[in-house]
Amino acid sequence: MRCSFIYVVASYPKLKIIGNHCILLILTRFSYKIEEIQEDIYMAQLYYRYSTMNAGKSIELIKVAYNYEERGKHVMTLVPAVDNRFGIGVITSRIGLQREAMVIHEDTNVFELFLRENAKQKIDCVLIDECQFLKKHHVQELVEIVDSMDVPVLAYGLKNDFMNELFEGSYYMLVYADKIEEIKTICWCGRKATMVARIVDGKIIKQGEQVMVGGNDMYVSLCRKHYNDGRLGKEK
């Protein structure tokens, strides 16, 4: 215990020890630092991180990739071919940051793709954007990467579509994921946004093709109350 205490004090030389209160402060800051470091260390599990639109999913993926690569690790980034808003094989955050990614087509075997890339250089983490567009077999192949290759897989995407139904990829991520985490954002009213509304001619529509790729011009995140009553703002 004494060695640990000396290490903590040395880490914060400007802090003065004033009885037990200062010791508790130092230990609290030390614990926070440990938690901060561990945020970027992932066990070999399948992580499903979901949210509504404009919650920062893509920027979170890009950040995780950067943190791995900063430590000399190699990541494989993937995106379904259907997401072509900014070009094929490009992950783009709404603040403008981009990252190239390998494309998953409907008939792609993701496990075999991983094996080919892993043979070239060891892959330490797999990251997938827009995972709601995956097929059942894709999710099962991600599970195989985790269980057979002992590599963490982090998948980011929507959970519900504009009709408040699950996408195929979302459904099977909920079935197979080891850890499910919500990335939160808010409705215009300040409540947590849990719904994605499709907008046509300034009005919410709740029927149509499930997959219709679009951005802020077509979709908006709302709380359940305003999704149901169709209000898009205070004056509307």
Is the separation of the CB atoms in 167 and 174 below 8 Å?
no
For 125-164, the pLDDT digits (tens) are: 999 999 999 999 999 999 999 999 999 999 999 999 989 9
Give the separation between CA 225 and CA 41, rounded to whole angstroms. Answer: 37
Please give the pLDDT value at position 176.
Answer: 98
Looking up residue 142, the CATH number of its domain turns out to be 3.40.50.300
Residue 228 lies in a domain: no
Residue 209 lies in a domain: no
Same domain, yes or no: 19 and 82:
no
**Which SS3 state, helix, strand or coil, does residue 63 take?**
helix
Q: Which residue has the higher pLDDT, 221 or 90?
A: 221
Please give the pLDDT value at position 213.
Answer: 72
Same domain, yes or no: 135 and 69:
yes
Facing residues of 200 across strands? 203
- In terms of residue numbers, what domain contains 28? 2-38
Provide the number of structural domains found in the chain. Answer: 2
For 37-70, the pLDDT digits (tens) are: 345 567 999 999 999 988 889 899 999 999 999 9
Question: Sign of the CA dihedral 143, 135, 78, 214?
Answer: negative
Task: Please determine, for residue 23, whether its predicted confidence score (pLDDT) is greater than 70.
Answer: no
The residues annotated as belonging to the active site are 130
Residue 33 lies in a domain: yes
Facing residues of 78 across strands? 102, 128
Residue 199 lies in a domain: no
Please give the pLDDT value at position 183.
Answer: 93
Indicate the residue type of 232: L
Please give the pLDDT value at position 232.
Answer: 86
Same domain, yes or no: 7 and 91:
no
Give the separation between CA 199 and CA 220, rounded to whole angstroms. Answer: 7
- pLDDT bin (cut points 50, 70, 90) of residue 185 is very high
Whose CA is closest to 215, among 78, 77, 84, 49?
84
Residue 23 lies in a domain: yes
Please identify, among 145, 167, 185, the residue that sits at the C-terminal boundary of a domain: 185
pTM of the model: 0.78
Give, rounded to a whole angstrom, the gap between the first and last alpha carbons of the chain.
62
Exposed/middle/buried for residue 116 (C-beta within 10 Å: 0-12, 13-18, 19+): exposed
Question: Reduced to 3 DSSP states, what percent helix, strand and coil does the chain have, rounded to the nearest 5?
Answer: 35, 25, 40
For 107-127, the pLDDT digits (tens) are: 999 999 999 999 999 999 999
Strand spans (E) along 71-169: 75-80, 90-92, 98-100, 102-104, 125-128, 153-158
Same domain, yes or no: 58 and 22:
no
Give the separation between CA 85 and CA 90, rounded to whole angstroms. Answer: 9
Whose CA is closest to 142, among 152, 157, 130, 156?
152
Residue 184 DSSP class: P
Please give the pLDDT value at position 24.
Answer: 36
For 194-236, the pLDDT digits (tens) are: 999 998 888 888 887 777 776 667 889 999 999 998 888 876 4
Same domain, yes or no: 55 and 33:
no
